[in-house]
Structure 1
């Protein structure tokens, strides 16, 4: 029971943080139809910037986190106008090659600025320590990170599924010329949506820092897991991403806990199996696919 509780609780908290990072890619790739394989770089920028503000500038955690998220989102607006806007009309291969190149540049810049080693994130005293849950103890920080992820994910779902903003974005993606003819400022809408995706990535990177420590190879190292969530969730499926990320987190945690020598391969076996059985997404209804 203690082992099962560990796998479930730690896997769920890990999956929620992973989901937050992945949702930024779901927004840019699933809704805007641009393949942004440099997404992990924005998450790493958020994590490193928060660490710098806390440990070098002396800012409190509660102030450093939103400032880092806003800074990365603003950087995302600049990057979207200068680079990504030129990729919207390009082929998927061009998008993959350019964004992978940007990821490699980000790795080199992070190595130059922060060195090759892991840089830890100092947590405030309120987020340290453990909670006694009976079967085992559980880190206070993971409860906090999970709660933040749930709140942000719920807000994002509401914006895209229950407001006119989500409807306008889908209309602009499906038929850009018609959307512009109705008076929509499509370039501004795309810039703001891309900034949102970058901000989500940054927040996910910050929350993940104590769980997936910051290192220069972070943008490449964890990109695969984010892509697993996006692939299994299906094209632009925000709600499905939550369930898929939880499953990925629990399976990955369970594999590493039960089979430490081979645990890293369990998640890839899951991906291969599910992509064969459900190529359009884990929770996509068969009737819907037909």
Structure 2
């Protein structure tokens, strides 16, 4: 393989991986920016989405698109229950209480997954309609990974329009910028929190299901991939849609390059790059300093 082919392979694989990271992590960026809560259990919703999609495709034989929508809706519904029963009590608590709660949810979710599915990693079976490859410029590209890239870009555009062009988006941005002022002008931040939490969790579930072909689902999923989800959020910036998109691209392509060109160093270069970015931009690439 020559250098041009290697570069194309890194960019293509890295972009597909980046889109999975983005769909999972963007909800975490918005919820942490809006709710101000250190929700380290976000990966548990992605894991739940992976397992649920496997079940819907395997046991119920639902069409892939239908199973994906059902996965997102069901996990979002469950997340609202958890938000109202558990998370609402730690919104104004310190970070220590928030971390304890989210870590507890991770351990409970991982134990439940271990009990139901066992310790072995599981992957989603790619539907026949998305199998195979597509010939572009004399090269074959995986159709499913092209699909992942398309879903990631579509999610980015849809969220950008929703945040910038709709009334609920205006309320979200107002609450992110200044929660007290938003409440003083009559914005129901409690309902807004639930909506955003459900959206973020549903996106995480869809991302976890879509990405299960690249990132296998296992009971340790929420902890094993937590660092990468947090990197996307911290480098991109809290409360933004564009930031995590750029950060996911940097992380996905950089991680693929490291694994292909210097596998002996693992993620060493990724973490060095993260430290460098955060030293220069502590609030992230697109983050804004928030007023609470």
Consecutive unaligned residues in structure 1, runs of 5 or more: none
Q: Any conservation in 2 of the 1:103–1:220 contact (CA below 8 Å)? A: yes
After TM superposition, the structure 1 = structure 2 runs for residues 15-54 of structure 1, keeping only pairs within 5 Å, are 15-54=18-57
Q: Does 1:278 align with 2:262?
A: no
Q: Any conservation in 2 of the 1:229–1:245 contact (CA below 8 Å)? A: yes
Deviation string 1:41-79 (CA, Å, 9 cap, x unpaired) is 001101110100111122121211100110000001101
Q: In structure 2, what is the Cα distance between the partners aligned to 1:50 and 1:256?
A: 28
Equivalent residue number for residue 220 of structure 2? 217
Equivalent residue number for residue 89 of structure 2? 86
From the superposition, tell whether residues 63 and 265 of structure 1 become closer, same or farther in structure 2 (CA, over 3 Å): same
Q: Does 1:231 align with 2:234?
A: yes
After TM superposition, the structure 1 = structure 2 runs for residues 137-176 of structure 1, keeping only pairs within 5 Å, are 137-173=140-176, 176=179
Q: In structure 2, what is the Cα distance between the partners aligned to 1:247 and 1:152?
A: 18
Equivalent residue number for residue 76 of structure 2? 73
Residue 132 of structure 1 and its aligned partner are, at CA, apart by: 2.5
Residue aligned with 1:132, SS:
strand
Residue 225 of structure 1 and its aligned partner are, at CA, apart by: 0.5
Q: In structure 1, what is the Cα distance between the partners aligned to 2:48 and 2:72?
A: 9
Residue aligned with 2:263, SS:
coil
Q: Does 1:14 align with 2:17?
A: yes
Q: In structure 2, what is the Cα distance between the partners aligned to 1:266 and 1:131?
A: 32
Q: In structure 2, what is the Cα distance between the partners aligned to 1:272 and 1:182?
A: 39
Residue 130 of structure 1 and its aligned partner are, at CA, apart by: 1.5
Equivalent residue number for residue 249 of structure 1? 252
TM-score (norm 1): 0.93
TM-score (norm 2): 0.92
Residue aligned with 1:209, SS:
helix
From the superposition, tell whether residues 276 and 64 of structure 1 become closer, same or farther in structure 2 (CA, over 3 Å): same
Equivalent residue number for residue 130 of structure 1? 133
Deviation string 1:115-140 (CA, Å, 9 cap, x unpaired) is 10011211211111122234642211
* Equivalent of residue 204 in structure 1, options 203, 207, 228: 207
Q: Does 1:103 align with 2:77?
A: no
* Equivalent of residue 192 in structure 1, options 189, 192, 195: 195
Q: Any conservation in 2 of the 1:72–1:198 contact (CA below 8 Å)? A: yes
Residue aligned with 1:237, SS:
coil
Deviation string 1:184-238 (CA, Å, 9 cap, x unpaired) is 3332221111101101111111111101111111111111101001111123221
Q: Does 1:5 align with 2:8?
A: yes
* Equivalent of residue 64 in structure 2, options 28, 41, 61: 61
Deviation string 1:2-51 (CA, Å, 9 cap, x unpaired) is 10000111111111111111101011102221111000000110111010
Q: In structure 2, what is the Cα distance between the partners aligned to 1:284 and 1:191?
A: 22
Consecutive unaligned residues in structure 2, runs of 5 or more: none
Q: Which moved further from structure 2: 235-244 or 81-90?
A: 235-244
Q: In structure 2, what is the Cα distance between the partners aligned to 1:222 and 1:282?
A: 21
Deviation string 1:80-113 (CA, Å, 9 cap, x unpaired) is 1001111111011211121122112111111111
Q: In structure 2, what is the Cα distance between the partners aligned to 1:174 and 1:240?
A: 16
Report how many residues are paired.
Answer: 287
